[in-house]
Structure 1
Amino acid sequence: MISIMSAWIHLFDGAPTREFPKGTALFRAADPVRSMYLLRSGMIALERPMADGTSLTLHLASAGSAVAEASLFADRYHCDAVARVDSEVAVLPKPVFLRDLERQPRAALSLIETHAREVQAQRARVEVLRMRRVADRLDAWITLHGEPAQGDWSTVAHQIGVSPAALYRERAKRR
């Protein structure tokens, strides 16, 4: 039996895939929303360009997740989607995806559940980012997610809003 959490993923069975080398964009802010994306491998960042030339990372999509599903009912994207590493993405035209959701209520419910869990995760991330000290942010992140794999500490630094150097200094204090 398919988990309700992943029942929507089968909508991408047979969908064409595209490769996006590190640094390339799936789409840019103000582009029309024409497709729904499923990240097969890699990592895609949803970034909002800022006036000072920097980017605000709104979300990091990992393998098995939809990219910019919140834009499904928008006319235009409100951010850029940029490959952080070489990535492979399945692409479905927006009308096909919406038609399939209408025909398959279980898939629609699973997408809603996936999105609800993402909202919960974002709320938790906001609370972590509100903490002033790196130590407190790290403790909160570990409480929520557990110890990361050895090579994933730079991702943790990004998720808690500190530089990798600041995170490594904090980790060194704990040894």
Structure 2
Amino acid sequence: MISIMSEWTQLFEDAPQRKFAKGDVIFRRDDPVRSMFLVRKGSVALERPLADGGLLTLNTAGPGTALAEASLFSESYHCDAVAQSDAKVAVLARIKFLSALRQCPDSAMSMIETHAKAVQAQRARIEILRLRRVSDRLDAWLDLNGEPPKGEWIKIAEQIGVSPPALYRELAQRRK
């Protein structure tokens, strides 16, 4: 997932935008990759259905974030993209996006740089998720990010892979 407004996002300047209501599917796993997407408003989750019927949220994209850019060089998507709130998404044909990157090396380098930062953040998240205890996961997240703004703790629960009640129990324990 690529985030942060960078030079490469300018490639979407004139791209048509589509509106999605909460719960709408933007694409499904195994759909052919025909477009590149940039979230303009709202949030979109990249999800992978699990064999037990659950869902694994790979990432949640907010404004200024590309969707499934790792699929840009694949034949099909490796996950589902589902609007988590009402969303507006810019859509650019894959072939047009790739052509624009080839014609503008600065945009291509900007995308590579932004993607490298996203990969580092995802690797850190994986390391956090590998920890067994809620307290260890929270400590690791806080070491990397610092304390979140007031009212944002519920978002941390999803990022560290625990339920909100489990996180709130851990926070209450720390206050004692």
TM-score interval w.r.t. the shorter chain?
Answer: over 0.9
Structure 1 match to 2:37:
37
Give the TM-score normalised by the residue count of structure 2. Answer: 0.93
Give the TM-score normalised by the residue count of structure 1. Answer: 0.94
Query: Secondary structure at the residue paired with 1:82?
Result: strand
**Sequence identity (%):** 62
How big is the alpha-carbon RMSD for the aligned residues of Structure 1 and Structure 2? 1.4
Residue 125 of structure 1 contacts residue 160 of structure 1 at CA under 8 Å; is this kept in 2? yes
- 1:25-54, CA deviations, whole angstroms, 9 ceiling, x for partnerless residues? 110011111100001111111111112211
Offset at 1:149? 2.2
Q: Distance in 1 between matches of 2:101 and 2:116?
A: 17
Note the residue ranges of structure 2 that are not aligned, 5 or more in a row.
none
Structure 2 match to 1:124:
124
Give the letter aligned to residue 110 of structure 1.
S
Structure 2 match to 1:165:
165
- CA 1:5–1:90 in 2, change beyond 3 Å: closer, same or farther? closer
Q: Distance in 2 between matches of 1:146 and 1:85?
A: 26
Offset at 1:145? 1.3
Residue 5 of structure 1 contacts residue 110 of structure 1 at CA under 8 Å; is this kept in 2? no
Offset at 1:152? 2.0
Query: Secondary structure at the residue paired with 1:155?
Result: helix
| Corresponding pairs, count | 172
Give the letter aligned to residue 24 of structure 2.
T
Equivalence map 1:22-171=2 (5 Å): 22-171=22-171
Structure 1 runs, 4 residues or longer, greater than 3 Å off: none
Q: Distance in 2 between matches of 1:17 and 1:168?
A: 38
